[in-house]
Amino acid sequence: MNFRIYLLFFWAALLFASCQKVYESVPLGQQVTPDLAFDPRDSLGKNAMTYLLTTYQQVLINEHNRINGDYLDAASDDAVSSASGIPSVQAMATGAYTATNTNADDEWSHHYAGIRNATVFINNINVVPMIEKLPNGQPARSAYRSEARFLRAWLYFELLKRYGGVPLLGDSVRQLTDNIQLPRNSFEECVNYIVSECDNIKDSLRTAAMVNGTTYGRITRGAAMALKTEVLLFAASPLYNGGNIDNGNPLTGYASYDVNRWKLAADAAKDLINTGDYSLMPSFGDIFVKQAAPVGPNTETIFWMQVGINNDVEKNNAPVGFTSAGGKGATSPTQELVDAFPTDSGRSITDPASGYDPDHPYDHRDPRMSLTVFYNGSLWLNRAVQIYDGGLDKPGGAVQQTKTGYYMRKFMGPFESVSANPPGYSSMVHDFIYFRYAGVLLAYAEATNEYSGPSADVYNVLYALRQRAGIFPGSDNSYGLKQGMTQEEMRAVIRNERRVELAFETHRYWDLRRWKIAGQQYNTAPLSGMDIQLSSSGQLFYNPISVLKTVFRDPQMYFYPIPYNEVVRDPQMKQNPQW
Nearer to other proteins, 238 or 326 (CB): 326
Q: Cα–Cα–Cα angle for 130, 132, 134, nearest 5°?
A: 135
Contacts of 487 (CB under 8 A, 6+ apart): 449, 450, 453, 454
Helix, strand or coil, per DSSP, at residue 403 = coil
Shortest separation between residue 494's beta carbon and other proteins, angstroms: 33
Shortest separation between residue 568's beta carbon and other proteins, angstroms: 4
Contact 55, 151 (CB under 8 A): yes
Shortest separation between residue 217's beta carbon and other proteins, angstroms: 4
Nearer to other proteins, 18 or 535 (CB): 18
Nearer to other proteins, 115 or 198 (CB): 115
Strands 407-408 and 527-534: unpaired
Shortest separation between residue 31's beta carbon and other proteins, angstroms: 4
Contacts of 262 (CB under 8 A, 6+ apart): 236, 241, 447, 448, 450, 451
Q: How far is it, in rounded angstroms, from Cα 444 to Cα 495?
A: 12
Peptide bond into 139 cis (omega under 30): no
Shortest separation between residue 242's beta carbon and other proteins, angstroms: 30
3-class DSSP string for 102-156: CCCCCCHHHHHHHHHHHHHHHHHHHHCCCCCECCCCCEHHHHHHHHHHHHHHHHH
Nearer to other proteins, 145 or 499 (CB): 145
Please tell me what DSSP assigns to residue 544: E
- Report the candidate in 557, 512, 567, 518 with the shortest Cα–Cα distance to residue 252: 557
Shortest separation between residue 334's beta carbon and other proteins, angstroms: 19
Nearer to other proteins, 323 or 477 (CB): 323
Nearer to other proteins, 52 or 340 (CB): 52
Nearer to other proteins, 36 or 525 (CB): 36
Shortest separation between residue 161's beta carbon and other proteins, angstroms: 17
Alpha helical stretches, state H, 470-558: 487-501, 507-514, 518-523
